[in-house]
Amino acid sequence: MRLATTLMYSGDPRAAADQVAGWERAGLDVVWVAEAYGFDAPTIMGYLAAKTETVQIGSAILPIYSRTPALIAQTAAGLDAISGGRAILGLGASGPQVIEGWHGVAYDKPITRTREIIDICRRVWQRDVITNDGLYPLPLPDGRGTGLGKPLKILTHPVRPEIPIYVAALGEANVRMTAEVADGWIPFLYVPERAAGVWGKSLAARPAERGRLEIVAGGPLAIGENLEHLRDLARPMIALYVGGMGAKGRNFYHDVVSRYGFEAEADRIQELYLAGHKKEAAAAVPDELLELGSLIGPESYVRDRIAAYRESGVTVLNVTPLDPDPRPALAKVKEMIS
């Protein structure tokens, strides 16, 4: 099991990069950089590559709609080159709010697009001549097709012909596609004890020849006595996703929490959040969900939670340390998972 963390959206990215260098010395294996509608991820990832030596640097995630497949492949190849082969390409469909509201692009065919992008990226890194008969390349506005006179292959030679591709997915069909073609899976709001009941059949679609599917999951981290109240810090975030990231019937996070057995609670959170009652929605997040999705408590409790994640198939423990200086907690968890 490897140890990872995700940089927050806010804050000074230069200061964060300096901190990651210290976390690397504490045992951090992977750092993820998110991209929603703040700073772009590749800029920060490139800066991280210059500031670190061993930690893997992954996007979690690059939305599949905001760049062409070829540019996604170029970006990953460039990061892999300047980091000396430490890149992980994390992809995801994001959601209609970000894709349609921020990028102004139609949110359509997310699973088909993800599958095609993965195939194109791998062919780019192999320096194949790129042609595609699927959704890509996109037609010109007048419908004439792409207008390409000659198919091309990447000018430069990628450091690695295969860069790991991880996919953020929640729906059954999307997780099945991830199991079939990706190298890793990044679920959200992951509860290890209930994951098999939600995604077991989809994950079973993994072809034997592809080897083990890396699974990235974890939660907020604080080790010590009488810290259980810190679990409440996750309430606003869970309420935002379960209640506000999508209309009724179009919210993946609501669906997952419902399938965990919290259907009534998920409905209540969504009802309150969409009505503008955000504090009440946060208060409605069930305590059991907070407990099962965290690593907050005495050392024995954290060890038990790590064992639960490991037992469920998690190979990359992704934690969010709550201490101002997370290095001691990261070092302790690194010791636990080694």
Question: What are the extents of the domains in the chain?
Answer: 2-223+296-337
Counts of helices then strands in the chain (DSSP H, E) = 14, 10
Q: Which residue has the higher pLDDT, 10 or 206?
A: 206
The strand pair at 56-59 and 2-7 is best described as unpaired
d(CA 250, CA 27) in angstroms, rounded, equals 39
- The CATH homologous superfamily to which domain 2-223+296-337 belongs is Luciferase-like domain (3.20.20.30)
Which pLDDT belongs to residue 143? 54
d(CA 31, CA 29) in angstroms, rounded, equals 7
Q: How confident is the model at residue 146 (pLDDT cuts 50, 70, 90)?
A: very low
Q: Are 242 and 269 within 8 A, CB to CB?
A: yes
Using CB atoms within 10 Å of the CB of residue 79, give its burial: 0 to 12 exposed, 13 to 18 middle, 19+ buried.
buried
Upstream peptide bond of 61 is cis (omega within 30 degrees of 0):
yes
Which pLDDT belongs to residue 81? 98
The strand pair at 165-168 and 87-92 is best described as parallel
The strand pair at 214-223 and 295-297 is best described as parallel
Reported as type and span, the H/E element at residue 317 is: strand 316-321
Which pLDDT belongs to residue 150? 66
